Structure 1
Amino acid sequence: MTLAIVLAGGSAAAGLPTRTSGTLADRLAAQCRLAGADEVRFAADLDELAALVDLATGPVLVTGADLVAHGAVLRHLATSPVGPTVALVLTDPPGAGQTVVREERGQVVEAGPAQTLNGDATGVFGGALRVGADDLPSLAAAARAVAAGTVLPAVPAATPETPAAPATPAASQTSAGPASDVDRLFAGLALLGTLVFAQRVRLLVAHRVGDVAELAAAEAAVDAVNEDRAELRLSVKERDDFFSTYCVSTWSPYLVRVAARLGLGPSTVTMISILFAVGAAALFAVGGGRPALVAGAVLLYLGFVLDCVDGQLARYTRNFSAWGGWLDTMADRAKEYVVYAGLGYGATQAGHRYGWALAIAAMTLQTVRHMTDTWYGVLHDEAARRPRPAGAGGGGIGDRLNAASTRVQADTGSLSYWLKRTVVFPIGERWALVALTVALFNPLVSLIAVLVWGTLAFAYTGALRTLRARWMWVPVLDTVDATLHRDDGPLAARSPVVRPMGPLTLAVIGALGPAALLALALAAVRSEGTADGLRWLLPVALLVLLLGGLGAGAAHNGPLDWLVPAALRAGEYLFAIAVGVVGDVPPWLIFGYVFLLTVHHYDLTARLEKRQAAPPLHAATLGWDGRSVLLCLAAIVGFAGIGMATLGSYLLVVFVASVVLAWVVLPARAARASALPVRTGGGAPG
């Protein structure tokens, strides 16, 4: 945070005296400094604010002069990780001239007078917002437009059928609306189409005041709440899953406070949780009877507790970083799959033939599920930001499912609420199931339980999300780099485009070929002990798989095309497993290769969720098509194991190099470049 601006225009509260010292505006300026602002400036009007914003180079914190709040409220707003531009939203009844908002999935989708919203208001603007660096031009434009009396809403480009909309006078938009400059500014910024996330106030106190009596009442409310105790409670997610809520978060805040006092960072706690998970996996693998399995279950539980603590510590200390967010996402999946490996090895050592096969199946299922979860979340966020096209999806059952889901989510703590959150088999429930089943039974039962519940959850979420997605009808893949997130390689990029079938149909057909080959190979191994006789089918399965590349250049604008990445992941994983079975590759090597594929793909989704750039060496990963061709060639010539080990090692080296480049080399290079003095003047040296 480099700049904070206290905007006093249109607010009678700016000069109100506080109980401590100075005016309310002075206290807000001091709180902005404590929130991390390097510089605090006062702006008398919107034109002055626009001039200050023009000079800013980083995020800007803007607050009106009528906000009474804990200092932590502004600090949380200034450091919020949810998005670049975030607005404070309160549940207070709107005062005269205050902007109300309508939110969906944490995003402000409308802001202005209540009578102008296309739906019921969900809150009132809290008089403060943090604007990301990329949105500063929009902030300055909104300030100048509102000051001049006009706001230009974001509209599609003009076409012969739809001419451009004219400028809308601000007075007509807000004739009964915002009076203070900060309210008018926020309404104008929303009208310009800026993506704004909502920052709700929970446990702490924040009120907008208009006179001495309201100021005194708000100050008393602030004094009545212990700020540090509230912040510790706020470190726990407001809505979490059942196991996390009742079996972890009831005591994990004590660990958060200890970690903070010891000076541990969130990433350090993440690393410690990895050690616990690896220890649990080792105990599951080596056997040693019931004591070892119970000890492993305890380590697994404690590892999950620490997995919760790292995020809680980040929220408590406001220590957020792109690296920490990426590491947490990657570590969650890596820990889970290392545990699956320990279970698979332990089951095999105990004499169960299909231990590794179950571990591979569990990892494949969970990864494909996670891909659908990620893209459905992106779809839902995008749907919240745009109106649904008229006639798309037709409402019907999708509309009713959406309404039912909203009702259940609003009924926090009810039986239906917890059932809905638990049936989808979230990570806490997965770790709890593994710990309980392995402690009470054995690794084989644990893997079977994970597969059964995971399959049921996948069927449940897949069916309901498909129906709701058809109702929403949002072409989400067309809003990002589809080639990157499809993970296409050179073959797919150069393939002809088959538009009539659509990319999803082609991707699903492509996955069916490897699935059929894998089924035949498993049947052959069961009956004959080997599937080597099916080697001639590998090129056939590969050709079917490559059909998925025929949709690479097509528009991904169908209502279900958000499923394309998951279908492509399934096809590649199934083909790799089939190659391993046909080529008589050791199961642990098949697991390791698929694990590296999942790491590569989670890297892509983690960057999508954290709004980060593509991995620096992504092109070197060859794409799903290139990797599959190389595996097939190695298997045909009889070196499936060597080919899989070599390709897996190559992917590991590329991944590590990409991580070092992305998080060490490139940031250091950027820091050195920004530290260089700027040369002025054009004279040549004499």
Structure 2
Amino acid sequence: MTLAVLSAGGGDALDPPEATRLVADLVSALRAAGASEVERLDDPGALRALSRRAYDANQRVLICADNLVAHASLLRTLATEPGGRSTALVVADPAGDLRDERGKLLPAEPGAGTVRYLGALCVAPADLPTLEKVADRPDLLAALLDAGVVPVATAVRLLRATQVRTSSELAEARAEVAAVDEEAARLRLAVKEQDDFFTTYAVSTWSPAVTRAAARLGLSPTAVTWLSVLLAGLAAVAFGQASRPAMIAGGVLLYLGFVLDCVDGQLARYTRTFGTFGGWLDTMADRAKEYAVYAGLAAGAERIGLPYAWPLAITAIVLQTVRHMTDTWYGALHDEAAARPTPPAGGVGARLTAASTRVQGEAGSAAYWLKRIVVFPIGERWALIAVLAMLTDGRVALGAVAGCGLLAFAYTLALRSLRSLSMGVGVLDKVDTARHRDDGPLVRHLLAAPGLHSPLTFAAVGAVAALVLVAALLFGWVEPPAKGTVGVVGLLVLAAGLPARARHGGALDWLVPAALRAAEYLYVVAVGWAGSVSTPVLFLLLFALALRHYDLTARMEKGAPAGRGTGALAGWDIRVLALAVSTLAGCVTLAEAGLAAVVGGSFLGRAVADWLRS
């Protein structure tokens, strides 16, 4: 629920009947946006009291100027921000006094603005104490910005909103609002403004029709997500059959599953139906579907006698999971840098940032699309899998995914590292560092040593050591079971826990979670190959680990509850130690199968329990 207030907006020249009608229209729109109460703001004391009452009831406060003429959908958009953050209504304006940085609204120096405030603001419960402190200021948005609040920028885009001050402006604004088909605009606005090439041209051109049909059928976004999971699962089964008709059917099912994967988000934005569980499920389902398809392709290739398919699937799942960890934390780092008042330092990274921003502003240009394609996003990955599966076989599809993924990872890692050095901010120290490192009791209580620094260096050494061991086993430089070598590399990986207590605030420390994932996953692969573990069992363990680690990042990104404790066997350190011991004991298959069951079962049990409780 939301509490709403109407503030004086400056419509002094409006005739009293016009002003009364405009206020009545706004009250109606605010109630349609979900406001349980609408009050006129007569003095700052009233706003302070309302803020305190809303905070106690964990409600939002929607503040709207009484001279705003706008589509009602815009006020509803403000009141239903999916992340539960404060948000303000803005319009693009090069002469504005605000700037939109990655969807965040920040003050701008004169001449450097990109947007202008339109008089409507929704304050989230977490920011209500700040609102109460600045209630005396007439310029509430500027006061909140000065106090450190960073609202989301809600852009007008295809709809219309204007603050009016005269009768002629009122008539003109109402005519502009009436000229727009609000329903059609809402449906088009449900499509992401800047999406990837394949999604833009092969999905978003017709997916709004599916979104409208889903809304009319009363389907929820979560129901559409589950339908997408079903189609992707059927595609994986079809790929596992490996016959040409089955591979073609699998490619078609995968494409349709991806369409529904886009539709669930569009439906949520169109109906303004958001939920923490839905956002979490969408993220987890995307990864689970993709990795199930990898397994289906590998199983199908093995069925027709093609070697090396499972190793390619293992390469793809390790590569994509590690890369997604860098995506998550670089995004968080970029948001942290965008919200700071001072510009980044100069150098190569700053020039790269400026070039990226320039290209990003050239929507539709060749450089713009090349920049979006080269990072090999999910739409391009699924399109490549579908086309190659239909035309060739599972091994070729997996090889292409692994090869393109490796090139994209190298490109993004190099450029993002340079850009992060110019940003000069940390992000991993702003969260529960040990939780997102996935440290277990061995690191937390025994290994972590005070006074050590450079956590990224230790994690990178562990990852490189594990990678070298994998290469040595692959090329025959080390003969299985290589118990001594596996044990030494295990110690090097465990050494990544020594600086766990250090502050992870360095410019490159956002890479620590990805480096730890790489070290653990590569060690899992090395131990499995040294112990002659069946590749499907090895893939299953990596699948379970990936779900566990995606759960950590998805909860953070979607604002989901952190959940209860992580269990006695949780933590990368305990798992690495268990694998090293199992190598010495000669029971690696049992250990990896057992870990897959424990990690997967723990993830499912914790996820179900947390969501039922919430």
Contact 1:382/1:476 (CA < 8 Å) preserved in 2? yes
Question: Which of 29, 38, 41 is equivalent to 2:39?
Answer: 41
Question: Which of 214, 219, 229 is equivalent to 1:259?
Answer: 214
- Report SS of the residue matched to 1:532: coil
1:451-470, aligned counterparts within 5 Å? 451-470=402-421
Aligned equivalent of 1:422: 373
What is the identity, as a one-letter code, of the residue corresponding to 1:232?
L
Contact 1:276/1:300 (CA < 8 Å) preserved in 2? yes
The farther-off stretch of 232-241 and 648-657 is: 648-657
Aligned equivalent of 1:335: 289
Question: Which of 184, 187, 195 is equivalent to 1:229?
Answer: 184
Aligned equivalent of 1:77: 78
Structure 2 Cα separation of the partners of residues 384 and 130 of structure 1: 21
What is the identity, as a one-letter code, of the residue corresponding to 1:84?
R
Structure 2 Cα separation of the partners of residues 12 and 76 of structure 1: 28
The Cα shift of 1:621 comes to 4.9
Structure 1 Cα separation of the partners of residues 452 and 301 of structure 2: 47
Q: Does 1:29 align with 2:21?
A: no
Structure 2 Cα separation of the partners of residues 647 and 580 of structure 1: 12
Structure 2 Cα separation of the partners of residues 101 and 533 of structure 1: 62
The Cα shift of 1:17 comes to 4.0
1:26-425, aligned counterparts within 5 Å? 26-56=24-54, 57=57, 58-91=59-92, 100-110=97-107, 117=109, 120-144=112-136, 146=137, 181=138, 184-288=139-243, 290-388=244-342, 395-425=346-376
Q: Deviations along 1:313-344, whole A, 9 cap, x unmatched?
A: 11111111000000000000000000000111
* Distance of aligned partners of 1:635 and 1:14 in 2 relative to their CA distance in 1, 3 Å threshold: farther
What is the identity, as a one-letter code, of the residue corresponding to 1:320?
F
Aligned equivalent of 2:441: 490
The farther-off stretch of 218-227 and 628-637 is: 628-637
Structure 2 Cα separation of the partners of residues 539 and 13 of structure 1: 81
- Report SS of the residue matched to 2:503: coil
Structure 2 Cα separation of the partners of residues 211 and 10 of structure 1: 9
Structure 1 Cα separation of the partners of residues 354 and 443 of structure 2: 40
Q: Which runs of 4+ in 1 moved over 6 A?
A: none
Question: Which one has the largest radius of gyration?
Answer: 1
Name stretches of at least 5 consecutive residues in structure 2 with no aligned partner.
none
Aligned equivalent of 1:570: 518
The farther-off stretch of 465-474 and 494-503 is: 494-503
The farther-off stretch of 53-62 and 407-416 is: 53-62
- Report SS of the residue matched to 1:90: strand
- Report SS of the residue matched to 2:64: strand
Q: Does 1:545 align with 2:493?
A: yes
Aligned equivalent of 1:610: 558
Q: What is the root-mean-square deviation in Å for CA atoms of aligned residues?
A: 1.8
- Report SS of the residue matched to 1:23: helix
Aligned equivalent of 1:444: 395
Structure 2 Cα separation of the partners of residues 237 and 660 of structure 1: 30
Aligned equivalent of 1:628: 576
What is the identity, as a one-letter code, of the residue corresponding to 2:4?
A
* Distance of aligned partners of 1:48 and 1:296 in 2 relative to their CA distance in 1, 3 Å threshold: same
Structure 1 Cα separation of the partners of residues 17 and 375 of structure 2: 53
Structure 1 Cα separation of the partners of residues 337 and 534 of structure 2: 45
The Cα shift of 1:405 comes to 0.5
* Distance of aligned partners of 1:496 and 1:260 in 2 relative to their CA distance in 1, 3 Å threshold: closer
What is the identity, as a one-letter code, of the residue corresponding to 2:499?
G
What is the identity, as a one-letter code, of the residue corresponding to 1:249?
S
Structure 2 Cα separation of the partners of residues 550 and 632 of structure 1: 18
Q: Deviations along 1:258-285, whole A, 9 cap, x unmatched?
A: 1111100000000001111111111111
* Distance of aligned partners of 1:9 and 1:250 in 2 relative to their CA distance in 1, 3 Å threshold: closer
1:645-656, aligned counterparts within 5 Å? 645-656=593-604
Contact 1:273/1:307 (CA < 8 Å) preserved in 2? yes
The Cα shift of 1:84 comes to 1.1
The Cα shift of 1:634 comes to 2.1
The Cα shift of 1:13 comes to 6.8
Name stretches of at least 5 consecutive residues in structure 1 with no aligned partner.
112-116, 147-180, 668-686
The Cα shift of 1:612 comes to 2.7
Between 1 and 2, higher relative CO (CA 8 Å, sep ≥ 6) is seen in 2
Q: Deviations along 1:9-56, whole A, 9 cap, x unmatched?
A: 7553787544xx943222111100000111111111322211211111
What is the identity, as a one-letter code, of the residue corresponding to 1:78?
A
Structure 2 Cα separation of the partners of residues 575 and 534 of structure 1: 13
**TM-score, structure 2 length as denominator?**
0.96
The Cα shift of 1:429 comes to 0.2
* Distance of aligned partners of 1:16 and 1:76 in 2 relative to their CA distance in 1, 3 Å threshold: farther
- Report SS of the residue matched to 1:143: coil
Aligned equivalent of 1:162: none
Q: Deviations along 1:288-307, whole A, 9 cap, x unmatched?
A: 2x211111100010000010
* Distance of aligned partners of 1:83 and 1:414 in 2 relative to their CA distance in 1, 3 Å threshold: farther
- Report SS of the residue matched to 1:567: helix
What is the identity, as a one-letter code, of the residue corresponding to 2:558?
K
Q: Does 1:523 align with 2:482?
A: no
What is the identity, as a one-letter code, of the residue corresponding to 1:6?
L
Contact 1:14/1:23 (CA < 8 Å) preserved in 2? no
Aligned equivalent of 1:600: 548
The Cα shift of 1:214 comes to 0.6
The Cα shift of 1:397 comes to 1.1
* Distance of aligned partners of 1:591 and 1:235 in 2 relative to their CA distance in 1, 3 Å threshold: same
Structure 1 Cα separation of the partners of residues 248 and 488 of structure 2: 47
What is the identity, as a one-letter code, of the residue corresponding to 1:209?
V
Q: Does 1:432 align with 2:432?
A: no
Query: % of aligned pairs identical?
Result: 51
Structure 1 Cα separation of the partners of residues 383 and 553 of structure 2: 25
**TM-score, structure 1 length as denominator?**
0.86
